[in-house]
Amino acid sequence: MITAERKPLDEILALVGDKKKVLVAGCDTCVAICLTGGEKEAEILASELRIKAEQDGREAEIEHTAAIRQCEWEYLDMIADKVKDADIVVSMACGIGIQSMAEKFSPQLVVPAVNTNMLGMPQEHAVWLERCGACGDCVIGETAGICPVVRCSKSLMNGPCGGSHDGLCEVKTPEKEDLDCAWHLIWERLKEQGREDLMIKNRPPKKWNLSSSGGPRKMVREEAKPV
């Protein structure tokens, strides 16, 4: 799923400025599952903003709402009245939802309250790990179902590099103390699958033009377009 983390309150306050009627809009899909921007979290942020406004002696009407999905026009219709009534919308959706909101309700001011950070897998409750880089040219059919694009720190297509030690990656930060070497994982699983030969297969440069480096992407399914 798409994951996001809430911005620090000071950053949100700077974006809101002195606007009086504020609508905090959550999204009840991906960001709700990662406990960042669903209706619950929108209510918490709205409460924080009200307490802050009261503290600062500012007059403000701060409410919260949530769309089932902020990234689809139909669901945005369901919160349209509240959005149009506000001076500013603080969206807790991912970057897609925020932009959908800004586009649909233009010129309504829509600002983000979260930083969208990855396509992550919930490894355990409250822990997410990056699993896909949406590179547009999937290679995991040959890498034992393990993505070298995002799980290898160097996105190597022909790994591992010399920085692989005891199954761990040399790239270490306090948050990534036990970062697995993706290519070590690939080797171990290829052995289990009896496909060790794929490890020494040379992979030519990837088609990065299919990734975001080729400019904004567009997908059209002609057969599914309305007639």
Strand locations in 7-143, DSSP E?
21-27, 61-67, 88-91, 110-112, 114-124, 127-132
Q: Do residues 68 and 29 touch, judged by C-beta distance below 8 A?
A: yes
Tokens of 44: 């918490």
Is residue 9 a contact point for other proteins (CB under 8 A)? yes
Single out the residue of 112, 107, 81, 77 nearest to residue 96, CA to CA.
112
C-alpha–C-alpha distance, residues 181 and 161, integer Å? 9
Considering only residues 51 through 80, tell me which ones interact with other proteins, judged by CB under 8 A: 51-52, 54-55
Which one of 43, 72, 130, 180 is in contact with other proteins (CB under 8 A)? Answer: 43
Q: Closer CB to other proteins, residue 52 or residue 203?
A: 52
What minimum distance in Å lies between the beta carbon of 111 and other proteins?
18
Residues ≥6 apart with Cβ < 8 Å to 74: none
What minimum distance in Å lies between the beta carbon of 5 and other proteins?
14
Is residue 87 a contact point for other proteins (CB under 8 A)? no
Which one of 47, 158, 209, 212 is in contact with other proteins (CB under 8 A)? Answer: 47
Q: Closer CB to other proteins, residue 74 or residue 124?
A: 124
DSSP H helices, 36-93, are 39-56, 73-77, 80-85
Total of residues contacting other proteins (CB under 8 A): 12
Considering only residues 92 through 151, tell me which ones interact with other proteins, judged by CB under 8 A: none
Is residue 44 a contact point for other proteins (CB under 8 A)? yes
How far, rounded to the nearest angstrom, does the alpha carbon of residue 79 sit from its chain's CA centroid? Answer: 22
List interacting residues with other proteins (CB under 8 A): 8-9, 40, 43-44, 47-48, 50-52, 54-55
